[in-house]
Amino acid sequence: MKKLFALSILTILLFALLSCGETAITDQPTDALDGSDKKTEKATEPPVDNELINSSNMLMALDQLGERLVIYDLDAYEDGKTLDDLETFDIKVGHAAGLKYREDTVLGNVLLVAGTRTEIYSYPTGKRLWYTKTPGANPHSIEMLPSGNIVVASSSDGILRFFRTSALVDKNKDVAKTYSDYKLEDAHGVLWDPEYELLWALGAYELRAYKVKGEGSRERLEKVDMMSIKLPEGKYWGHDLSPDYTDTRYLYITVGSCVMRFDKEDQSLSEEFPNSDLLNRSEVKGFSNNPSGNFFATGETGGEGCEWKDWEKASWCTNTIYYYRANGETLETIKLMTEKSAFYKARAFCGLYQ
């Protein structure tokens, strides 16, 4: 009798375990961008070791000469190698100015590109997941909010253009049709801050903070005046906006004349920060660090190798990337050059927001 009772208990437990194993767990968004109920692209892609990526020294850059987004593995650097020797991935993106890599979003691991072709690509497959024909005039930056909604900063018409993912699908097409605009003169940068739950946006004369209000198709931006600041006199025309991956208290911004660090706690900007004597230069179009404490910055603009299209020189481009490799509290400067590309922005290939 006891044996029969024990066997019955084991049978019940085994059935319960099998039932748990059949429970479906998915991160598929409720309104997929392709309008279908197929499994997400994320489920069929080769696995990506996000932890390895975020701890490595990979660099992503926009080659405006070749109209490519390029990824470089700087861990493979040795004396005598050029940047071209370190190339590991590229994808044609048209003439673009803004780029980011984001991990584990509602679309999976993605490359964000802002330009004449403002698009989102799955990484590493390179499959296009979304695009818009109406990003605004001269897009310079792009961000994906945790909800999957998308913000594009466009400089010529001075706007932040807010696309809602729930409104992107039209008869199973992945084209964005609707959006809302928020004025910001010469908008150049946009960045989500998960700690403060703010969207930072950089324009000609100010660094703004926005709160995201509502949910889904009702999401909207609302300016937070107490966190927004005017740029110092003479330090105008923002270029780049990036997180400090070693300390969530700070952001980095570049303007025409310098690089500055923004303190979110007291809303202050300073040209003096650790290693600023080395890092603080003028005309830096792209600037970032990574969790390992290494820094990356675009070099002098308009140099040799930057011939582009109908211009004798593309004055905003460079053929040089400065890789500042951390060595304790100091930085070792490695000057990397390319013989086939002309860069506008470049940044650490890190999928973390902050």
pLDDT digits (tens, 9 = 90+) for 15-25: 333 333 322 22
The answer to the question of residue 169 being in a domain is yes
Local confidence band at 175 (pLDDT 50, 70, 90 cut-offs): low
The answer to the question of residue 11 being in a domain is no
The answer to the question of residue 18 being in a domain is no
Mean pLDDT of 167-187: 75
| Of 3-17, 201-215, 258-272, minimum mean pLDDT range | 3-17
pLDDT digits (tens, 9 = 90+) for 45-63: 556 777 666 767 999 999 9
pLDDT digits (tens, 9 = 90+) for 192-217: 999 999 999 999 999 999 999 998 77
pLDDT at 144 over 70: yes
Local confidence band at 108 (pLDDT 50, 70, 90 cut-offs): confident
The answer to the question of residue 32 being in a domain is no
pLDDT at 288 over 50: yes
pLDDT digits (tens, 9 = 90+) for 241-257: 999 999 999 999 999 99
Query: Can you give the pLDDT at residue 65?
Result: 87
The answer to the question of residue 78 being in a domain is yes
The answer to the question of residue 117 being in a domain is yes
131 lies in which domain range? 52-348
Mean pLDDT of 70-74: 97
- CATH of residue 212's domain is 2.130.10.10
Mean pLDDT of 160-179: 69
The answer to the question of residue 6 being in a domain is no
Query: Can you give the pLDDT at residue 304?
Result: 57
Query: Can you give the pLDDT at residue 31?
Result: 26
The answer to the question of residue 238 being in a domain is yes
Annotate the chain with three-state secondary structure.
Answer: CHHHHHHHHHHHHHHHHHHHHCCCCCCCCCCCCCCCCCCCHHHHCCCCCHHHHHHCCEEEEEECCCCEEEEEEHHHCCCCCCHHHHEEEEEECCCEEEEEEEEEECCEEEEEEEECCEEEEECCCCCEEEEECCCCCCEEEEEECCCCCEEEEECCCCEEEEECHHHCCECCECECCCCEEEECCCCCEEEEECCCCEEEEECCCEEEEEEEECCHHHCEEEECHHHCEECCCCCCCEEEEEECCCCCCEEEEEECCCEEEEECCCCEEECCCCCHHHHCCCCCCCEEECCCCCEEEECCCCCCCCCECCECCCCCCECEEEEEEEECCEEEEEEEECCCCCEEEEEECCCCCC
Whole-number Å distance between alpha carbons of 254 and 263: 14
Q: What is the pTM of this model?
A: 0.83
Local confidence band at 41 (pLDDT 50, 70, 90 cut-offs): very low
Query: Can you give the pLDDT at residue 47?
Result: 63
- Tally of domains in the chain: 1
pLDDT at 171 over 80: no
